[in-house]
Amino acid sequence: MKLKDKVAIITGSSKGIGAGIAKEYAREGAKVVVNYSSSKDYADRVVDEITQGGGTAIAVQADISKIEGITKLFEETRTAYGTLDILVNNASVWKYEMLEDVSEKTFQMQITTGLMAHIFCAQKAVSLFGEKGGSIINLSSTISLNPIPGTLIYCAVKAGVDSIAKTLAKELGPKNIRINTIAPGMTESEGSTADGRPGSAMEKYYLDQTPLGRVGLPKDIAKVAVFLASEDAGWVTGERITVAGGLL
């Protein structure tokens, strides 16, 4: 068990990639904090699946688009487990809109959860890691390097996520803290289903450019997240790993 007795927070982990990482971490022995903002039923299902499989998990409601929500998340983790070893900054929101439709509201919605929270969650994690150090994993996207129209703010956010890991790897390395980025391609999730992506022209466009010829699954991303959090990646920091079936 590569993560035996490690404590891990995964933000936005009631669904999709975050839920997949939470389940995989638990299978590898980690004690997991399943964070959610509003999807309590989904978070409880993830926790139930983990505990019924013999793992350890709690659900913590916290809106990490706000500093007080971030503080709550880490305080409840400290109360439950006393420490932290792994932070996965997974939570993000997106809205497809062309430049003329961008508003202050849609800008703030994406930037606070997808970028600001990564920074302040990292700040809290460093304190809770303590002298032993830890591992931070940020979720970016192939879109940060290969943007498409209608995703201006989301692409800017994900490019910022890439930069955070490069910068903090240098700043936090002396504290024995590693920070890396995973950039998934198109991945099956509740969010993508709600957006109508399955069978859409967008899905076909990306599949045509994906050498392995399929949409990713949360478990595809989760297995890489296990590697980056484990001692197998003890000499890996500041890296961006694309997990997208060959899509660039």
Query: Catalytic amino acids?
Result: 154
Q: Describe the strand order of the beta sheet including 7-10 as a list of residue ranges.
A: 56-61, 31-36, 7-10, 86-89, 134-139, 177-184, 240-243
List, in sequence order, every residue forming a beta bridge with 33; answer none if it has no partner: 9, 58
C-beta atoms surrounding 64 within 10 Å: 26
